[in-house]
Amino acid sequence: MSKIEKKQINNLIRISKQLRIDVVNIVHSAKSGHVGGSLGLADIFTVLYFHVLKHNSNDPNWENRDRFVVSNGHIAPIYYSALAHSGYFPISELSSLRKLRSRLQGHPSTLDLPGIDISTGSLGQGLGVACGMALIAQKDKKNHLVYCSIGDGESQEGSIWEAAMFAGHHKLSNLIAFTDRNCIQIDGDTEKINKLEPLSKKWEAFNWNVLSANGNDIEEILDTFEKAKKENSKPTMIIFNTKLGFPVSFMDGVSKWHGTAPNDDEAKETMIEIKKYYSKLKL
């Protein structure tokens, strides 16, 4: 059981609900964007931004902050929602997603928006960036940690494994990466397109500490990050088993929802399902 109080957990759950609502609203309004992965990752991003990460939105480049590289940049809607609710920019700006001259580009742009260390969107690149950050922190004996989010489809990129080998070799125990394991990529089931399994064993073979957890359970996510922080000889990979579009039932396992915006009816239906899910949790 988690040492974190029930009250705190309930608070995080409430935040995750708001982030999900924002994701649906902004993707619907933009008429494009990645809604499925964003909803599936809402619990993890909530835990990170509102509990795990040491960060300060008033000082985005604070030297002692934990770093967080979002290598799977297409899940920008949840990234932006978490940043806005953390105070990096006005929540009202979320509605500019993907619009002309918006700072909220379809994929994250570091020069445009505070809180984003590096531009991502071309898959497979962020883990290496996180490795560079962790390497310097390790060399200079800094206490902050480096987190990195990657997609499961993204793990088909060779550059992910170049970075994996590097992190294992340099024993970057200050690096905590996680995979959004929803088993869905744009063209379908990851296992039918280009099999990733046995995924945990792959990371173990690259000399990583590997954990796995339900990525749609806030308490389990909290516990798993705590465990990861305790590792002191290897980088950690957390395989977070998530559901695409969680908790929206009609998105679960349907690859269309990787990168399609809901139309008016679908957006309505999505909101109904999200609200139903949270009301069942009886906070």
Partner 1 sequence: MKYIKENIFSNPEMLPTRDGFGKALVELGEINEKIIVLTTDVAGSVRANWFAEKFPQRFFDLGVAEQNMISVAAGISLENKIPFATTFGAFITGRVWDQIRVLVTYSKTNVKLVATHTGVTVGEDGATHQILEDIALMRVLPNMTVVVPSDFNETKKAIFAAANFKGPIYIRLGRQKAPLITTDDAPFEIGKSQKLRDGNDVTIIACGVLVYEAMLAAEKLDKLGISSRILNMHTIKPLDVDSISEAAKTTGAIVTAEEHQIAGGLGSAIAESVIKQNPVPIEMIGIKDVFGMSGTSDELLTYYGLRADNIVDSVKKVLKRKK
- Applying CB under 8 A, the residues found at the interface with partner 1 are 67, 69, 109-111, 117-122, 124-137, 139-140, 158-159, 162-163, 165-166
Nearest to 175 by CA among 130, 123, 222: 130
- Residue 38 or 120: the one with the smaller Cβ distance to partner 1 is 120
Q: Which two tokens stand for residue 181?
A: 């394991």
User: Smallest distance, Å, CB 171 to partner 1?
Assistant: 14
User: Smallest distance, Å, CB 133 to partner 1?
Assistant: 4
User: Smallest distance, Å, CB 162 to partner 1?
Assistant: 4
- Residue 23 or 69: the one with the smaller Cβ distance to partner 1 is 69
User: Smallest distance, Å, CB 228 to partner 1?
Assistant: 19
- Residue 235 or 247: the one with the smaller Cβ distance to partner 1 is 235
User: Smallest distance, Å, CB 10 to partner 1?
Assistant: 36
User: Smallest distance, Å, CB 190 to partner 1?
Assistant: 21
- Residue 53 or 69: the one with the smaller Cβ distance to partner 1 is 69
